[in-house]
């Protein structure tokens, strides 16, 4: 039986630095746990444009379609700001999402106890927080037609169309219910059914999928604006939240900042099952390419490492190893190690990107 395959796309800025620490953990798993991956590496984003004149070559796109999972670092930077829109680094990322049809974006909001003081909310509200927002990623108002800026009655009019089909809603709802069964068996669906017809359809289809296929999962519905309020009032009332592309974009960033550390958070984008039953998948940290600190050893590798942990869990059925890796991260933070982005007002000496990776590997060794 062949090893699971993983395509690594480090990208731009700090992407190669944080991805190097993931490569060390992959090597650790091979040496210490006998878990081996067939790893290949390629270019995406600005570095791909520099080499090939495009942010994603057809050959790289074909590789991404064939592997069990893609792990991406970050793309972009001011160097590429004046490029034509069609070849900007971000177009490579968007092409991967579109052509792989990665319709379910999983954004965890997890607050490690050691970092609870970084949140703007009270410790008791956020300490131990562990929720998951599933955002529909390939439809909705960002993709609906008609769209654009037109002139009517001698003034400009901006048009965007919110559009969803039953099947688009149903498949992301199934992703939420399946995930809930692996967590606390509870889903809250958020929309604006009080003022939007697409919200009415969203609520109806989610309820229909629940009643027909997942009656064992607890389902609730909430208007998205009320959901935003509740996320800041008492976020621990939620476990899995499923919502559309626009509201998911807003709510996942809100929830991420509840943890006090946007740069710590991973994400996963999942698509339809492949022949092996696993979903097409791409994993990436939420943070950007941070070109201002690239090459200085200041980047925090934890978000990228936790993105690999999500790959272990959702693409490779290695939940126990994902738990081990997440526990190692938690231990290192509890021991007080901090990269520059996690330094509080009390100051101190931050550790480097590589030192943080080494500390996590040491914690993995101690877990055996």
192 is catalytic: yes
142 is catalytic: yes
365 is catalytic: no
Rounded to two decimals, the pTM is 0.91
pLDDT at 23 over 80: yes
**Residue 343 confidence class, pLDDT cut points 50, 70, 90:** confident
**Residue 153 confidence class, pLDDT cut points 50, 70, 90:** very high
Which of 50, 130, 142, 239 is flagged as catalytic?
A: 142
Which of 164, 249, 280, 341 is flagged as catalytic?
A: 249
* Of the candidates 321, 26, 336, 368, the residue with the CA atom closest to the CA atom of residue 355: 336
What's the rounded mean pLDDT across residues 34-52? 98
Please provide the average confidence, as pLDDT, over all residues in the chain: 94
Burial of residue 346 (number of CB atoms within 10 Å: 0-12, 13-18, 19+): exposed
50 is catalytic: no
Read off the pLDDT of residues 266-289 as tens digits, 9 standing for 90 and up. 999 999 888 788 889 999 999 999
Which of 42, 49, 103, 192 is flagged as catalytic?
A: 192
**Cis ω for the linkage preceding 142 (within 30 of 0):** no
How far is it, in rounded angstroms, from Cα 114 to Cα 90? 33
Q: Evaluate whether 35 touches 4 at the Cβ level (below 8 Å).
A: no
What's the rounded mean pLDDT across residues 240-252? 96
pLDDT at 260 over 80: no
Which of 239, 253, 323, 355 is flagged as catalytic?
A: 253
27 is catalytic: no
Q: What is the DSSP string of 272-308?
A: EE-TTSPEEEEEEESS---TTTTTTT----HHHHHHH
H or E stretch at 69: strand 69-74
Full set of structural domains in the chain with CATH: 1-114+266-368 (3.40.718.10), 130-258 (3.40.718.10)
Which of 27, 50, 113, 225 is flagged as catalytic?
A: 225
pLDDT at 345 over 80: no
What's the rounded mean pLDDT across residues 357-363? 98
């Amino acid at each position: 039986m062949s090893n699971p395959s993983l395509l690594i796309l480090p990208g731009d800025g700090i992407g190669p630095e944080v991805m190097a620490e993931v490569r060390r953990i992959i090597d650790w798993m091979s040496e210490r746990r006998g878990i081996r991956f067939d790893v290949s590496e390629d270019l995406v984003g600005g570095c791909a444009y520099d080499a090939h004149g495009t942010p994603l070559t057809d050959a790289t796109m074909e590789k991404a379609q064939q592997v069990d999972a893609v792990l991406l670092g970050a793309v972009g930077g001011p160097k590429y700001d004046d490029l034509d829109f069609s070849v900007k680094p971000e177009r490579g990322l968007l092409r991967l999402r579109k052509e792989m049809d990665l319709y379910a974006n999983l954004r965890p909001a997890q607050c490690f106890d050691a970092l609870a003081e970084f949140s703007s909310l009270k410790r008791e509200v956020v300490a131990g927080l562990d929720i998951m927002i599933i955002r529909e990623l390939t439809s909705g108002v960002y993709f609906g037609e008609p769209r654009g800026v037109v002139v009517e009655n001698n003034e400009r009019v901006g048009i965007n169309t919110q559009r969803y089909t039953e099947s688009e809603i149903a498949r992301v709802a199934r992703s939420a219910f399946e995930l809930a069964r692996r967590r606390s068996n509870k889903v809250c669906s958020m929309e604006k059914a009080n003022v939007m017809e697409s919200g009415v359809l969203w609520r109806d289809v989610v309820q229909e999928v629940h009643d027909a296929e997942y009656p064992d999962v607890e389902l609730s519905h909430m208007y998205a604006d009320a959901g935003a309020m509740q996320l800041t009032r008492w976020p621990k009332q939620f476990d899995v939240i499923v919502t559309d592309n626009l509201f998911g974009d807003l709510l996942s960033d809100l929830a991420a900042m509840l943890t006090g550390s946007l740069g710590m958070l991973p994400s996963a984008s999942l698509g339809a099952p492949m022949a092996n039953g696993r979903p097409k998948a791409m994993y990436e940290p939420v943070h950007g390419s941070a070109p201002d600190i690239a090459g200085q050893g200041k980047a925090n590798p934890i978000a990228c490492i936790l993105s690999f942990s999500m790959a272990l869990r959702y693409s490779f059925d290695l939940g126990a190893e994902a738990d081990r890796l997440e526990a190692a991260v938690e231990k290192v933070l509890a021991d007080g190690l901090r990269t520059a982005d996690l330094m509080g007002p009390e100051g101190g000496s931050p550790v480097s990107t590589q030192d943080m990776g080494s500390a996590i590997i040491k914690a993995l060794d101690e877990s055996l």
